[in-house]
Amino acid sequence: MSEAIEFLPPWNATGQFADNLVKELEREVTEGHKLWRVQVKAIAQRTDSDDVLFKIENGSNGYAVVHLTWSGEPEEDTKWPDTRIFDSLEAWATECMMVDHEEFVGSNE
C-alpha cells in the first residue's frame, strides 16, 4: 500500500527498492541514534541525493527523512545518518518536500 500523497520532484516512491533502503538504514544506525531499533518502512527517496523518507512503524504517526551514508556498516557517530523527524506526512510535505521541490525546480530552469 502506498502513502496517500503525490510526490513532487525530486521525490519519488521507493517501489521495489524499499526493502533495500530499510536494510541500509539498519546497517548504518547504531545504539544512541534516534532510529536505533525503530521499525520503519521506506516510502520515498530523492532522485538527486541520498535522502529517504521512512514511515515510523512503532505505533507512531511519525516520519523520518534520513540522509543515508551508504557506508554499509554502523556509523561511529550517532549523528549519522543525519535524520529529521516529522510528526505527520502532511508536516513532511509542507516542511520538506515542497521546499525541496521549489529548490529543485528553480535549479533546473
Q: Does any domain span residue 65? A: yes
Q: Does any domain span residue 54? A: yes
| Contact status, residue 48 vs residue 66, Cβ threshold 8 Å | no
Q: Does any domain span residue 45? A: yes
pTM: 0.92
Overall number of domains in the chain:
1
Helices (H), ranges, 1-109: 18-28, 89-92, 98-107
Q: Does any domain span residue 93? A: yes
Cβ neighbours of residue 85 under 8 Å, at least 6 residues apart?
A: 34, 56, 62, 63, 64
Q: Does any domain span residue 4? A: no
How confident is the model at residue 50, as a pLDDT?
96
Q: Does any domain span residue 67? A: yes
How confident is the model at residue 2, as a pLDDT?
46
Which stretches in the chain have pLDDT values below 50? 1-2
